[in-house]
Amino acid sequence: MVPVMTLRDALDGAGTPGAARMWGAYAGTGARPLPPKGLDAIWARARGAAARRRASRSDRARAERIIAGARGLETLSERDLDARARSAGEEVLLHRARGAALDHAASHVVEVIRREVGLRLHPEQIMGGLAMCAGRCVEMATGEGKTVTAILPAAVFGWMRRGVHIHTVNDYLARRDAEVTGRALARLGLSVGVLQDDTKPADRREAYARDVTYGADKQFIFDFLRDRLLSPIDPTPARITLDEIAPVEGRSGRWTAQVVQRGLFAAIVDEADSVLIDEAVTPAIIGLDAGGTSEAQRFHRTAAEFARAMRPGVHYTVDARLRRVMLTEAGRSLLRERAEELPAFWRGPRRREELANLALQAKELYRREDEYIVRDGSICIVDGSTGRVLEGRQWQLGVHQAVEAKEGLELSAERITSARVSYQRFFQRYARLCGMSGTVWEVAGELWRDYALPVTRIPTHRPVVRRLALDRVFLDQPARDLAVSRRVAELHAQGRPVLVGTRSVEASERLGAMLAERAVPCRVLNATREAEEAAIVAEAGQPGAVTVATNMAGRGTDILLTPRTRELGGLVVLATERNDERRVDRQLFGRSGRQGDPGLAETYVSLDDRLLVQSGSRALRRLAKALPPGPRTAVARVLLRQAQWAASRVLAVRRAESAKQDAWIELALHGQTR
């Protein structure tokens, strides 16, 4: 199969909503304009609020009709089911995935899943699948079966034969989900491909040529950027069509032989808030080494020595809220004195102060085992919302080299941007976009603003019986950690499985060491142990199991209980810190009490937690510290709500600025003005 859109695809898609964005995947003309302002912005927000909704009784009634239709297919032979499923797929294509044709096809999908996966879909899963077919992002609680729910929209979009991309958060989940759903999709007449880090270009092209392609979001977005670098021209629809109809010697296949993607037609995004919101803060960039000299490396190392000699409050000040470091007059004076003994480069005050400021940022704002880890002699950036390593990412504007100098590592060359795109601009290029996650309701406004993606909240299949305890508040981190370790030891003695959630790698390792001192066996899961994730999570629901993990344990995998652990009250989740956004806390709590299981969630916070220091009200924090335990807890609850609101607003503004900056860059590149 040629990895481009055919003439028939072009003609069929020319009049469909989003067709311009689909073609913009290569031509660069299909992305949306700059975000609206003023009254336009107010109107856009109102439309988004109107589009947001909870699943209704009519949605449930429709799902139950589909289930009834699937039961009527149970007596069919394998051959008859295959023939009728193919016919249903053709009807979907003919009627553009709407109305009775869609419901009829959905019944066949449900029966195929029963036979091939061994699961009977419940109404809530079908409601979620139908909402995604309609171009929505669905919120389904942890453990509700989102992987099999995605089979329905994957089949509906896949029958259109233009390629469906199913985005996951990592390679392991992409491989696992493809294995779980592959037989059902094949039975529905669809081919399945999988992308991994080690997939070679020829195999990537083959994977994209399949009807449904699974992969981590980074695989799709960086293949898109590499295609833009490899293509010698911007292939417009007209040029692609001409090359297919009337190939010219020397021109035919000039770009199609090099690129791997065949266009961006449909995307189903798993863990949509992580991919579409959290990842959107940082654009995807492919850079070329700038060829930095050994002299430039010496400059960073010298600046790191300056930073080590400087004292906070004397030579510089740190604003944790704004993540800013400022030199004082004493600091400038020290730099001036030291510069007299150094080469002429250091005599310029602006140059030396910029380098010193970078080194001080690396010293004070970029903490090891929090923002990054050191692996094989290299700096690996850690995603704060998931706890996972952002493979291949680098900080820009010299920050990465400053952190390497701080750690005494070999400095990497600074990079020149060759191709870049924000996550917003990339996903806006899909003709059809939908997604699913356990926690998207809080960011429904952003999903509408950035992607025109409305959110539908799907009820749980069984009532949630998990108990959520009141927060326990402590003056400082040592007191908090001591209380957590005691509580874990107590629960372990009872035989209950425990998941301890931490915000950073450093905190997870510290608590793991404290539990070892108490002779409590535990498994630690963080960015330094990603390879062990599946094995650790598989054991986390066993009697007496203790797992200490960063937020990576809250995404994509289920912690299964045994009959014994259900009798004991289910999984206990202990959160040791509130996250910047409430939905991240909800994601962690959702590991407990899945599918009607019992469970318990408790939160332990200290008044010197990063969230409260950086985003909390100073007055409320001082008041809480001055009060006795009872009143302190009441004030701390107000402080936590205020801090999370402030932190989430800062992150939302940062994401909006990233999208706006990328829009301006693209408009400038194409010579457009607003």
Between CA 211 and CA 192 the distance in angstroms is: 6
Rounded CA separation 238/193 (Å): 28
User: Residue 20 — very low, low, confident or very high, per pLDDT cuts 50/70/90?
Assistant: very low
SS (H, E, C) 493-537: HHCCCEEEECCCHHHHHHHHHHHHHCCCCCEEECHHHHHHHHHHH
Reading phi first (left if > 0) and then psi (alpha if -120 to 50, else beta), residue 452 is in left
pLDDT score at 27: 34
Return the ∠ at Cα 477 (arms to 472 and 481), rounded to 5°: 70
Spell out where 60-103 has E strands: none
Whole-number pLDDT of residue 17: 35
Is the model more confident about 57 or about 395?
57
Give the angle subtended at the CA of 155 by the CAs of 153 and 158, to the nearest 5°.
105
Which residues sit opposite 137 in a β-bridge? 435, 455
Question: Which pTM was predicted?
Answer: 0.83
Radius of gyration of the chain (CA): 27
Beta-carbon neighbour count of residue 658 at 10 Å?
Answer: 18
Give me the pLDDT at residue 510, please. 92
pLDDT of res. 18: 36
The pLDDT assigned to 2 comes to 30
Is residue 414 within 8 Å of 447, Cβ to Cβ? no
Q: Can you give the pLDDT at residue 292?
A: 53
Over range 521-548, report the average pLDDT.
83
Task: Indicate left, alpha or beta for 400 from its phi (over 0: left) and psi (-120 to 50: alpha).
Answer: alpha
Q: Given its phi and psi angles, is residue 630 left (phi above 0), alpha (psi -120 to 50 degrees) or beta? A: alpha
Between strands 498-501 and 571-575, the pairing is: parallel
What is 467-606's CATH number?
3.40.50.300
Q: Which pLDDT value is given to residue 34?
A: 61
What superfamily would CATH give domain 291-413? Answer: SecA, preprotein cross-linking domain (3.90.1440.10)
Asked whether residue 435 carries a pLDDT value surpassing 90, the answer given is: yes
Residue 363: pLDDT above 70? yes
Tell me: pLDDT of 321 over 90. no
Question: Which residue stretches of 290-348 are H helix?
Answer: 294-309, 329-339
User: pLDDT tens across 36-66, in order?
Assistant: 777 877 888 888 888 888 999 999 999 999 9
Percent of the chain residues topping a pLDDT of 70: 85
Question: pLDDT tens across 460-493, in order?
Answer: 999 999 999 989 999 999 999 999 999 999 999 9
For the record, the structure tokens of 581 come out as 């956004």
The segment(s) of the chain belonging to CATH 3.90.1440.10 are 291-413
Place 552 in a pLDDT band, splitting at 50, 70 and 90. low
Residues 6+ apart with CB under 8 A from 27: 234, 235, 236, 237
**CB–CB of 524/163 below 8 Å?**
no
Owner of token pair 């009049």: 15
pLDDT confidence of residue 131: 96
Residue 512 has pLDDT above 70, yes or no: yes
Residue of higher predicted confidence among 298 and 22: 298
Residues near 313 by beta carbon (within 8 Å), at least 6 away in sequence = none
pLDDT reported for residue 669: 60
Measured distance CA(138)–CA(133) in Å, rounded: 11
**pLDDT greater than 90 at residue 187:** yes
Average pLDDT over residues 642-665: 81
- pLDDT, tens digit, 9 for 90 and up, residues 210-240: 999 999 999 999 999 888 887 655 544 455 4
- Say if residue 16's pLDDT is above 70: no
Question: How large is the average pLDDT for residues 296-321?
Answer: 83
Domain 7-286+423-457: state its class. alpha beta
State the pairing for strand pair 284-289/415-421: antiparallel
pLDDT in tens, 166-178: 999 888 889 999 9
More confident of the two residues 418 and 233: 418
Whether the CA torsion 69, 71, 72, 75 is positive or negative: it is positive
Q: From CA 554, how far away is CA 546, in angstroms rounded? A: 15
Tell me where in the chain the CATH 3.40.50.300 domain(s) lie: 7-286+423-457, 467-606
Q: Which of 548 and 247 is assigned the larger pLDDT?
A: 548
Write down the mean pLDDT value for the chain: 83
249 — pLDDT class (breaks 50, 70, 90): very low
Segment 66-91 mean pLDDT:
92
What is residue 373's predicted lDDT score, i.e. its pLDDT?
84
Flag whether pLDDT at 652 surpasses 90: no
Q: How far apart are CA 49 and CA 44, in angstroms?
A: 9
Contact call for residues 139 and 438 (beta carbons, < 8 A): yes
Please report the DSSP string for 236-278 in residue order.
-HHHHHHHHHS--TTTTTTTTTT-------EEEEETHIIIIII
Q: Which of 561, 568, 566 shows the shortest CA–CA distance to 591?
A: 561
Q: Give SS3 for 383.
A: coil
Dist CA 451 CA 453 (whole Å): 5
